[in-house]
Structures are given as C-alpha cells and as structure tokens.
Structure 1
Amino acid sequence: MIVVEKSSIQDIPYLHLVKEEGIGHPLPLCFFIHGFTSAKEHNLHYAYYLAEKGFRVVLPDCLEHGERATGKTEEELGGVFWKIVLNTIHELSILKSHFEEEGLVVDHGIGVAGTSMGGIVTLGALTQYEWISSAVSLMGNPSYVKFAKAQLEYLKSSGYELPFSEGEVSAILDELSYYDLSLQPEKLNGRPLMFWHGKKDKVVPFHLTEEFYKSILPAYEGNENNILFIADERADHKVSREGVKKLVEWFEKHLSA
C-alpha cells in the first residue's frame, strides 16, 4: 500500500509518498517539482509510480502556488517567476536536510525532477547541490539568462510595460547567471541526467534545451548511459504517458539503492 502524508517544514507544504513497509526506513528519495500555476497534488501520478518502485517521494508547493497561493493573477505570477524558481532551489536544501536528519535517506540516493517550471528548478539546482545523484527535466530549460531575455523581449513586443528598471533587469540577469547550468556545465560532473521535451512546445523553447544537450554530449563520452534526451515529435507543452514512464525508468536505473 502507498501511504500519502500531508505535512510541512518551515512553511513549505509538501506531500510525502512511500510504501507502507518503507515508512521509517532509509530509501532513495525523489523530489518532484510542479509547474507554473500548478500545485503539488497535480503531480500525484508521478509520485505514485515512483513510490510503487520503492522510492520515497516528496512533492512541495512552490512559493505562490497551491497552499501558498496569495491570489495573484497569472500575469502577476509571471512577474515573480524567477523569484519562485530560485526560492524553490533554496527550499530543496531545507527539505533534504529534514529527511536526512530523520534518517530516511540512503547515501548518494537523492533525485530531483519536475515539469516545466519544475524542470527549470531541477536544472538550476544541479548548479548548487552536489548531493543530487540523478535528475530529470520534463520540458525544463537550463539556459536561465537566454530564457529570461527571451521572456523580456516577448513582453516588450506584446506592449507590456515591464515593472523593472534597466538596472533591475541587469541585476536579475546577473543573479540568474549563478544558477544557469548552460554557463557552468562542468557542475554536472557526469551525473545522470534525462531530458524530455515536446518539439511543438510554445511555452519553454525546445531548441534551447536541445542546444544545451548537444553541447554537453562530449563530456559524457564513455559514459553515455548517464545522459538521455527524448524529443517527442507530436507533443507540445504536456508530458506524454511515455514521458512519465521514462522518468520512472530513469530513476529505477540511476537511483535505486
């Protein structure tokens, strides 16, 4: 039986899924991060499949989402998109420490994954935490600075008045560069990383993710089993059932105790 526990730590609400027999035992731990305007409950199917395979799974609510929503419109949320991303990266460390202190994590057994914004969080987290043993980005993007610049250009072309000064924009881009995996690919250090992305995605640019994947392939020479890019010819900004299955298979292969 899969147990679903609703809890929180330091104002971070999360769902915790695990097989009943594994509740108090160290297990490989998977963090799964939801997408923009979504919530932890919307990704329960990922967590269930992973828990079935013997993983401990934690789904947090990001800032301004789910239980932490403050009534902002989607447009208002867009204005704090990168604040949410960076905050979630920092909170992963809080959650990880909590489960380690409880003795519920096996050594070298932590995976991080997410959809869309959650995939973006996942790729940024790889620049900060060596303790991530394996990662999966579903419709994510590692190129924070390029993506942020593209977002700004789109808003300007749409006639939207940016709520930031030139100086503020420059400061934001400088901060994002610290988490931009495309600017520091050496931080991967050969760790297992899987990408899934729909070629027709109009929300998170497919080409930036593919471009990054191709650029890091030489670093995985002789270790090709640790890198995978799945391009879905038909998919737009929605993960297919096949993509869900591939994520579970990836963690089974690269994160099992």
Structure 2
Amino acid sequence: MTKIIMETSVVDDIPILSIFQEKLYSCPLVFFIHGYGADREQAIDFGYMLAKKGFYYVSMDCKGHGERKGKNESNKFHQVFPRDTGLDTYVHMHEVIEQSAIDIQNLIEYFKGKERIDTNKIGISGFSMGGYASFYISANNPDIKVAIPIAGKPSFTKSWLDTITSTATYEQWSTQIQDAVKEVEKRTEYFQMIDPFDKLSGFFPKPLLIINGDQDIDSPYFYSLELYKKLLPVYSEQPDKFKLSMPFINHQFTYSMKQEACDWFEKHLG
C-alpha cells in the first residue's frame, strides 16, 4: 500500500509543505505557488494527487503570507492610491511574485543532492497570483522544465496599464489617478522590468500548459490568449508541448483542472 507523507518544515526562513510517497526516491519535483492572501495549504489535494503519481510536491508560504505574515518585509513602493481601487495591493502582489522567484531558486539549491528528488526534473504551477508567478519564474529560471500557470496573467505591463486606464474611468477616482501620474510612471517602469511576456518565447521547447477559465473576471483569458497566439508559431514543430485550456469556469482551481495539470506533469515530467 502506497503511503503518502505530508510534512512541514522551514528552509532558509521559507515555510514549506512537502507531500511525497514514503519509499520513493529520485522523484520529479513540482513547486506550487498559492494565490494572494492564501498560504502553502491552498492546494493540498493537488499535492496529494501529484504525490500519488510519484512526484515530490512542495508549496511555500510566499512573502507576507502564512507564517511569514506580519514579519518585517521591505517593499519598493508605499501606498499612494485610494484604498478601494486595490492598486497598491496589485503592485504589492508583484513584489511578492518577484520574491517568490528568489525563494524558489533557494529551494532548488536546497533540494539539490537530496536522494528523494531528481532536480533535473522540476516543474512549476500556481493559481491566481501563483499563476502570474509561474509565468515569471518559467521565463527566468532555466531549472524549470515544465510549467502550468493557472488563472494568472503573463503580460504584467499591459495588465497594469489596462487597470490604471479602467480605474481612471470611475469619477470618484479619476482626479486622484491623474494627480498620481508620476507614481504611476514609476510603477509602470517596475512592471516593464519584471514583465515575462516577451521572455516566455525562450521557454520553448519545454512543455507549457496554460489554464485560464473563460469566465474568469479576475484574470481575463485574453491575456493568456495573447501569449498563446504569440507562442503558437514558436511551438509549431512540437505542438504537443504547448496548450491553452479554457474551461467554462470563473476564478477557480477545480478538480478537473487539477486532473488536467497532473496529467500534463505525468506526460512531460514523469
């Protein structure tokens, strides 16, 4: 009978949750990054599903989340926008994403040499903020061999500018947005610096599955569709390694989406 182990630990001040088979070694490693406001336990069932298939699953509390919540953290930007707009939160989310990439690299270094894990086979996935982060990390970390961003956006700059434009259409906020034009420009430069959209062409020929509900209003599918159209010619000679899945769903990570992600990892990383 297969025994699944679930344990928590702290690596380089990063609280992690690991799920794996007790007697299995040289397992492919899959990282999962949770959504904004959630924690490392967000997708325990997904971790269990992957562990049953022979993967070593690791999720972490991202900066300012879970056991890291309330700890001193340095941020690039202070609050300048009306609180109800959510703009400062949106900017902070990307700072969390940027730190998550650093954390994932530190975890990869930690797991190198561990007999339970094959660090030549590393995949990444994440939901919502974790979907954004999966795009970002895949574009910048060559150790990632398979990626499955879920309900995220790959174009950070366009999404930010669209958000600013739409927010400014509200009468109660339009003047404040106009008065904060220099602060908007500073944050736009930041988004341009970390934007993974163009870099993702370099992920080829590694397998990439993008999952984005076609009813999702938090992460509208058209941002993923733009990336899909951009990468279709790049993956034309290996189309089985590239897919955009748009289930009839809103901003959720459903069982069927988890099953699709598990199958993709099993096919391309197992």
2:151 paired residue among 139, 145, 161: 139
2:263 alignment counterpart: 249
Asked whether 1:222 is paired with 2:240, we answer no
CA–CA distance in 2 between the matches of 1:79 and 1:172? 8
Tell me the matched-pair count.
Answer: 251
**Contact residue 127 and residue 179 of structure 1 kept, 8 A:** no
TM-score between the two structures when normalised by the length of structure 1? 0.90
Deviations 1:173-228 (CA, angstroms, capped at 9, x unpaired): 33333432322233212210001111111101211111111211000112011001
**Contact residue 9 and residue 95 of structure 1 kept, 8 A:** yes
Amino acid at match of 2:69: A
The within-5 A match list for 1:121-140 is 121-140=133-152
The within-5 A match list for 1:36-51 is 36-51=36-51
CA–CA distance in 1 between the matches of 2:134 and 2:92? 18
Deviations 1:48-100 (CA, angstroms, capped at 9, x unpaired): 000110001100011111122229x9956445111111111111101111111
CA–CA distance in 2 between the matches of 1:29 and 1:218? 29
2:196 alignment counterpart: 181
Q: Percent identity?
A: 26
Please list every run of 5 or more consecutive structure 2 residues that lacks an aligned counterpart in the other structure: 72-82
The within-5 A match list for 1:44-59 is 44-59=44-59
Please list every run of 5 or more consecutive structure 1 residues that lacks an aligned counterpart in the other structure: none
1:202 paired residue among 217, 222, 245: 217
**Contact residue 136 and residue 195 of structure 2 kept, 8 A:** yes
Task: Give the CA RMSD over aligned residues.
Answer: 2.2
**Contact residue 128 and residue 179 of structure 1 kept, 8 A:** no
Amino acid at match of 1:148: W
Classify 1:222/1:95 alpha carbon distance in 2 versus 1 (closer, same or farther; 3 Å): same
1:169 paired residue among 160, 184, 193: 184
User: If you compute each CA radius of gyration, which structure gives the higher value, 1 or 2?
Assistant: 2
Higher deviation after alignment, 104-113 or 81-90: 104-113
Asked whether 1:60 is paired with 2:72, we answer no
**Contact residue 126 and residue 187 of structure 1 kept, 8 A:** no
